[in-house]
Amino acid sequence: MSLELYAHPFSSYCQKALIALYENGTPFEFRMLAHDNPQIMAEFAELWPIKRFPVLVDSGRTVMEASIIIEYLGLHYPGPVALLPADARAALEVRGMDRFFDNYISTPQQKVVFDSLRPEAERDKRGVAEARAMLDTAYAWLDKTMAGRQWAAGGTFSLADCAAAPALFYADWTHPIDARFTHVRAYRERLLARPSFARAVDEARPYRPLFPLGAPDRD
């Protein structure tokens, strides 16, 4: 087996890559990143000293960053679900929505979570307030954008939805999506019902006690 994914199932960006692999049934070896497995941790650090995951290894070639991993899979291991359209204009829309979910949903969501891990004296109250405000702004924009859409970039499941699924999943735990954003909430439910993401969510269930803010009793 040539493909190896260094990842953790509870990580949102790892789930993003896993969704793409599961969508097309792409065979791979899961290299579980855990501190009780120093060998794999050492391999990972050697492959990518920045130590951000996931990392894909394909017969000695190292591919970093979830979005790039998904595009790489589409080029080298295409399957029945094309996660990036062949049409350049449609692909630009998909990439734009992918960046939206990473930058304006995942990034502020993680700001809130990571800040909660700091000692009280080192917490960034202003930064957390700004992150929560960004999430509210992003939810409002997305609600208008998703009106009349099934998936993030239109009618076809894509790279953008791979980004959206874990981003909205954890964002709603961290800063609940207001009931007035009906299109966002319905979209999140569609993502949870997608078999590829449902599988990723189920595989991550044992790690829910690790969520610093306390995982809600749902989803």
Per-residue model confidence (pLDDT) at position 1: 58
Q: Checking DSSP bridges between strand 29-32 and strand 3-7, what pairing results, if any?
A: parallel
Q: How confident is the chain (219 residues) per 10-residue block, as mean pLDDT? A: 93 98 98 96 98 97 98 97 97 98 98 98 98 98 97 95 98 98 98 98 98 97
Task: Please tell me the predicted confidence (pLDDT) of residue 154.
Answer: 83
| pTM score of the predicted model | 0.97
> Is there a contact between 66 and 5 (Cβ–Cβ < 8 Å)?
no
